Amino acid sequence: MHSRRVLGAGCWVLGAGVGCGVLGAVPGVGCGVLGARVAAQALTIPTPVIRVSFTDAIQRAQEKNPTVAAAAASILRAEGLIRQARSASQFQVFANVTSTTLNRGVEFDGATVTPRSQLTATLTADVPIVAAAAWARRAQAEDTKAVAELDVADVKRQIAFATADAYLAILASRRVVESNTLARDTAKAHFDLATELEQGGTGSRLNALRAQQQFSVDSGLVEVAQLSLYRAQEALGVLIVADGPADATDEPDFAAQAAPPVAAFSNTNLIRTDLKLLSAQQQAAERIVRDTTKEWYPTLDAIFQPSTTYPAQFFLPQNSWRFLLQANIPIFDSGLRSSERTQRQADVEQFSASLSRALLDANAQVRAARQAVASGERTLALASAALDQAQQVVNITNVSFRAGAATNIEVIDAERVARDNGLAVAIAEDQLRRARLELLNALGRFP
């Protein structure tokens, strides 16, 4: 996202140059007034509240970003499901108290057979002896926790990538600011020379206005680039949970982290957290399908029930107990379990298709990222050479203009080309950084 934002800002900067030039050409707008306005506006941009290195930014975002905390809550929920599933197959005790009031009691030969009001207390101790379905649900809950942990790991990877993206946007925006500032300073020097020549009688008002127009354009581009830099700093501040804009202090060396080519991703060669997550979801769904048959298995519970009744009935003792072996055998369910199995099998097919598509995408991303790195290195080399050549043209044109062998228009054109080449280098550097980052991310080696 930030890559497109930086590239878009660069194109917008170039496109906005015409508008700034027109404003700069308005009579009566001098460089002194313009410089004062630029300085006043620059002071309104807040300074970063924190400066972080690339490694610290990634670590801080993974530890403090609310998105990670929200994902981590799913692990706690999964642990609750595990305890719930485990309790269904373990020893349980519960009590029952019943108060019974009849319309009238029953007496026989002067003795109370059934009292009108009676209180009965029963304690039930239940121990599942055979509970295949409950045991299966416990294993399924363990799978849910494993999936939740992988989901948190994948969220951390996404937050880390977004933080790295914002960090690189700061570096690219800062490079654009430096390039535009250099172009503005060069245009200012040319404008000062044109003004000096006009005042000395060897120049013209037209040349001075052209130089002033170029200076106005470059000053406007500096403002736009500074605003882009501030927005990138604010984006980084949000990701690392800083109360204000955050600035970057160093440049990550992605080239040092580059690794030799790896085999294509497959079901047995999973490194990326998103692929591991999809694989775990598929395996969990397959377990649920296999465990469907266990719901047909009989269950056997051992139940012990001591009870007391007050007042006691004539034919029943006041205190008693009983021991039960209770079996439950499913015989016919009108297709309930078979329909559930069909639905669960559909989940398996869905996760399997998602994993297959993700594997294809991952391998394509690795190949595309390797090509992008190679292309980015060549593009940066060519752009750097063009910038060096453009700076030499600017120097030679300035010397020729002082000697009267070049026109004012030639100087301005040389400065524009040098400025555009400087922006091209900044864009090429940003593209190469992002290509290397995307390669590490595609290989599962970032962060």
Closest by CA to 326, choosing from 305, 298, 302, 306, is: 302
Give 96's strand partners: 122
- How far is the C-alpha of 348 from the C-alpha of 413, rounded, in Å? 64
Q: State residue 167's pLDDT score.
A: 95
> What's the helix, strand, coil split of the chain in %, to 5?
70, 15, 20
Q: What's the mean per-residue pLDDT of the chain?
A: 84
pLDDT over 90 percentage in the chain: 49
Q: State residue 256's pLDDT score.
A: 62
Taking 70 as the threshold, does the pLDDT of residue 414 lie above it? yes
Taking 50 as the threshold, does the pLDDT of residue 418 lie above it? yes
pLDDT in tens, 244-286: 999 999 888 887 665 566 666 776 678 889 999 999 999 999 9
pLDDT in tens, 92-110: 998 999 998 988 877 777 6
Collapsing DSSP to helix, strand or coil, 312 comes out as: coil
Residue 38: which residues within 8 A CB-CB, separation 6 or more? 219, 222, 223
Average pLDDT over residues 175-195: 88
Taking 50 as the threshold, does the pLDDT of residue 183 lie above it? yes
Q: State residue 97's pLDDT score.
A: 94
- How far is the C-alpha of 437 from the C-alpha of 165, rounded, in Å? 9
Q: Domain tally for the chain?
A: 1
Average pLDDT over residues 237-242: 93
Q: State residue 261's pLDDT score.
A: 62
- How far is the C-alpha of 223 from the C-alpha of 24, rounded, in Å? 14
pLDDT over 70 percentage in the chain: 87
Taking 50 as the threshold, does the pLDDT of residue 31 lie above it? no
Q: State residue 438's pLDDT score.
A: 92
Q: Are 214 and 187 a contacting pair, CB within 8 Å?
A: yes
Least confident of 17-26, 237-246, 359-368: 17-26
**CA contacts within 13 A on the Cβ side of 96:** 8
Reported as a pLDDT band with limits 50, 70 and 90, residue 55 is very high
CB atoms within 10 A of CB 219: 22
Determine the length of the chain: 447
pLDDT in tens, 366-411: 999 999 999 999 999 999 999 999 999 989 988 888 888 888 888 8
Which helix (H) or strand (E) element contains residue 323? Answer: strand 319-328
Taking 60 as the threshold, does the pLDDT of residue 161 lie above it? yes
pLDDT in tens, 67-84: 998 988 988 888 898 888
Q: State residue 257's pLDDT score.
A: 63
Taking 70 as the threshold, does the pLDDT of residue 216 lie above it? yes
Q: State residue 262's pLDDT score.
A: 60
Q: Are 172 and 242 a contacting pair, CB within 8 Å?
A: no
pLDDT in tens, 332-353: 888 888 999 999 999 999 999 9
CATH assignment at residue 216: 1.20.1600.10
CB atoms within 10 A of CB 179: 26
- How far is the C-alpha of 383 from the C-alpha of 390, rounded, in Å? 10
Burial, 83: exposed, middle or buried (Cβ in 10 Å; 0-12, 13-18, 19+)? exposed
Q: Which domain holds residue 72?
A: 2-443
Closest by CA to 221, choosing from 446, 10, 4, 5, is: 10
Taking 50 as the threshold, does the pLDDT of residue 425 lie above it? yes
Average pLDDT over residues 11-16: 33
Both tokens of residue 275? 């692929």
Both tokens of residue 151? 């989901």
Taking 50 as the threshold, does the pLDDT of residue 290 lie above it? yes
Residue 315: which residues within 8 A CB-CB, separation 6 or more? 113
CB atoms within 10 A of CB 189: 14
Burial, 208: exposed, middle or buried (Cβ in 10 Å; 0-12, 13-18, 19+)? buried
Residue 35: which residues within 8 A CB-CB, separation 6 or more? 219
